[in-house]
């Protein structure tokens, strides 16, 4: 079998994204996917302007918009009393950042990238489970469970949370948040869907839980996500995140949130893990990408976006380090990739953890948070400029982080006792 320029391990959103990016830059790419067919499990996904800007560069934004919904607003509410806390005007946000905020079904985004790879000539291989990675004199090699091996000038490990390649760089394990997510979609003809504004992305934040909903597929369905902290997980039990815990976690929530629980899929749920940030992603000619490098908690909706950004940045540095004869200085391209992406993703991972803590506060801290959110101006972008602007290609392009506002700076009057449940 001939050797491609690049091997990509993993056929998820990150793997397909980088395969397309590098093919655009003149590289021959073979993608190895362990499953017998390509597909994506889940429901909705949010794509902020730092992602839709890249889809636009790829020539894929119009197709993405046709498959998804471009909402008018993002609204944050209190899960206990249902009151509005703050909002973003997403149409104005599009004017500020030059690209829209888009919500789309995860399988539709995956399919869009898969079709783009097929058109670009990416070699797609299924039933290829990679069990080992190693560097060679001229590049890198992977070995499959079947015993077969593949070689290329570069191997990109987009093999997810449980990456086999990550062990080459760091001896760590996924970190459990003790939170679990339930998902579900509601058809548009249901009374529940007719009662909501499908032009809004809404998150209800509450003590140790939150609930998200927004429209998908042009308003054909309502996407719902319910997330809560599992007492069983905190107690160290193996069987955690079960449907009885879902119902108990939201027992104290407002009527609208509780009325959405019967529509959740109850036969599968997603336990929420991340990993501590690492700053080394490259081992010779083997490079981590996406969740293999930086699996986040989902609170600022940047997991798939970071993976797509990784692929775009690597592609741009390949273009900068490609000679006239088409050969690439992989050492220089990978050094430039590693110089900028780990620090950005470290910021996202740590901010995601802090944002999750903020969402799930109780008692006085909840009241302080609510007061600060209610005082925020709709058009204050101090907490999004670091994230939604153009993706940095070099460290000097990375914008400054926001300045946190202390909770105790809020004036809420008398302390409020903590609630037993949401």
Active site residues: 214
DSSP 355-394: HHHHHT--HHHHHHHHHHHHHS-TT--TTTHHHHSPPPSS
SS3 181: strand
Query: Measured between alpha carbons, how far is 118 from 109 in angstroms, rounded to an integer?
Result: 14
| Torsion angles phi and psi, residue 172, rounded to 5 | -135, 175
Spell out the residues 6+ positions from residue 12 whose beta carbon is closer than 8 angstroms to its own: 40, 110, 158, 160, 290, 291, 307
How far is CA 7 from its chain centroid? 23
Spell out the residues 6+ positions from residue 299 whose beta carbon is closer than 8 angstroms to its own: 352, 353, 355, 356, 359
CB 399, CB 347: distance < 8 Å: no
CB 306, CB 47: distance < 8 Å: no
CB 162, CB 293: distance < 8 Å: no
CB 15, CB 33: distance < 8 Å: yes
Q: How far apart are the first and last CA of the chain?
A: 58
User: 261 exposed, middle or buried (CB, 10 Å; 0-12, 13-18, 19+)?
Assistant: buried
Closest CA to 398 of 346, 325, 352, 327: 346
* Inter-CA distances, 147 with 131, 198, 418, Å: 9, 50, 57
């Amino acid at each position: 079998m001939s050797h491609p320029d690049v091997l990509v391990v993993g056929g998820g959103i990150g793997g397909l994204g980088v395969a397309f990016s590098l093919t655009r830059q003149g590289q021959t790419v073979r993608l190895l996917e362990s499953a017998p067919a390509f597909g994506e499990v889940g429901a909705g996904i949010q794509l902020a302007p730092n992602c839709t800007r890249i889809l636009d560069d790829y020539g894929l934004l119009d197709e993405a918009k046709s498959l998804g919904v471009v909402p008018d607003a993002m609204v944050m509410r209190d899960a206990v009393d249902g009151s509005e806390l703050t909002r973003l005007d997403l149409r104005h946000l599009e004017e500020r950042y030059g690209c829209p905020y888009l919500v789309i079904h995860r399988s539709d985004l995956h399919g869009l990238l898969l079709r783009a790879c097929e058109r670009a000539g990416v070699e797609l291989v299924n039933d290829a489970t990679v069990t080992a990675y190693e560097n060679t004199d001229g590049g890198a090699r992977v070995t499959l469970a079947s015993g077969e091996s593949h070689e290329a000038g570069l191997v990109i490990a987009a093999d997810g949370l449980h990456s086999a390649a990550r062990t080459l760089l760091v001896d760590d394990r996924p970190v459990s948040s003790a939170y679990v997510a339930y998902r579900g979609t509601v058809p548009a003809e249901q009374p529940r869907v007719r009662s909501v504004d499908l032009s809004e992305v809404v998150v209800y934040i509450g003590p140790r839980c939150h609930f998200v909903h927004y429209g998908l597929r042009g308003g054909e369905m309502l996407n719902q996500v319910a997330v809560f902290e599992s007492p069983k997980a905190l107690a160290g039990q193996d069987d955690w995140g079960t449907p009885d815990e879902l119902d108990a976690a939201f027992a104290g929530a407002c009527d609208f949130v509780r009325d959405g629980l019967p529509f959740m899929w109850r036969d599968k749920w997603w336990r929420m893990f991340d990993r501590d940030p690492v700053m080394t992603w490259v081992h010779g000619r083997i490079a981590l990408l996406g969740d293999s490098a930086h699996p986040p908690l989902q609170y600022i909706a940047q997991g798939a976006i970071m993976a797509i950004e990784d692929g775009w940045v690597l592609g741009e540095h390949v273009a900068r380090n490609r000679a006239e004869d088409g050969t690439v200085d992989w050492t220089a391209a990978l050094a430039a990739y590693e110089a900028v992406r780990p620090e950005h993703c470290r910021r996202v991972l740590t901010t995601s953890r802090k944002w999750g803590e903020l969402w799930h506060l109780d008692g006085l801290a909840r009241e302080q948070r609510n007061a600060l959110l209610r005082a925020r101006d709709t058009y204050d972008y101090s907490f999004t400029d670091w994230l939604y602007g153009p993706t940095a290609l070099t460290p000097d392009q990375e914008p400054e982080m926001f300045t946190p506002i202390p909770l105790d700076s809020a004036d809420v009057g008398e302390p409020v006792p903590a609630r037993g449940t949401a």
